[in-house]
């Protein structure tokens, strides 16, 4: 299972924008997310503690496999870093938890302040 997203690079300390994606199966068909809860996990490769581990939203209609997460203050407060991204999907009927692997997000350092 994989997910396609509309982002690859974000700017350090920016927030209030959405990360979005579509979860598809191995045939490229959108996964029906009806009744599912999603967890966005963003982590630095080789670490055991995620940088971000928060609930992502299923975008209606859930049958299209779309999700989004609104970036919060502090999510990307370190620049010049590359993170791995996963969406954990929990379904209650039938009960299952699976992880859709996406790829990476690069956090670009913000421009220096000028006066």
**pLDDT per residue of the chain (115 residues) written in tens, 0 to 9:** 555 555 688 999 999 999 988 998 888 899 999 999 999 999 998 888 999 999 999 999 999 999 999 999 999 999 999 999 999 999 988 888 888 877 889 999 988 777 6
In a domain, 113, yes or no: no
Residue 87: which CATH number?
A: 2.60.40.10
Q: Look at the pTM and tell me if it is higher than 0.75.
A: yes
Q: What stretch of H or E contains 11?
A: strand 9-11
- Number of compact structural domains in the chain: 1
Residue found under tokens 């956090």: 107
In a domain, 115, yes or no: no
Domain extent at residue 99: 2-108
Other Cβ atoms less than 10 A from the Cβ of 12: the count is 15
In a domain, 10, yes or no: yes
In a domain, 90, yes or no: yes
In a domain, 52, yes or no: yes
**CA dihedral sign of residues 37, 40, 45, 46:** negative
Residues 6+ apart with CB under 8 A from 93: 35
Q: Phi first, then psi: give them for residue 63, nearest 5 degrees.
A: -65, -15
């Amino acid at each position: 299972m994989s997910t396609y997203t509309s982002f690859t690079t974000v700017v350090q300390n920016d927030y209030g924008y959405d990360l979005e994606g579509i979860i598809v199966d191995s045939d490229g068909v959108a996964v029906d997310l009806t009744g599912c809860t999603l967890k966005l996990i963003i982590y630095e490769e080789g670490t055991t503690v995620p940088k971000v581990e928060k609930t992502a939203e299923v975008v209606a209609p859930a049958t299209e496999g779309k999700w989004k997460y609104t970036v919060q203050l502090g999510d990307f407060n370190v620049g010049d870093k590359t993170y791995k991204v996963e969406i954990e999907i929990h379904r209650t009927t039938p009960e299952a938890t699976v992880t859709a692997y996406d790829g990476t997000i690069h956090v670009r350092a913000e421009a220096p302040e000028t006066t």
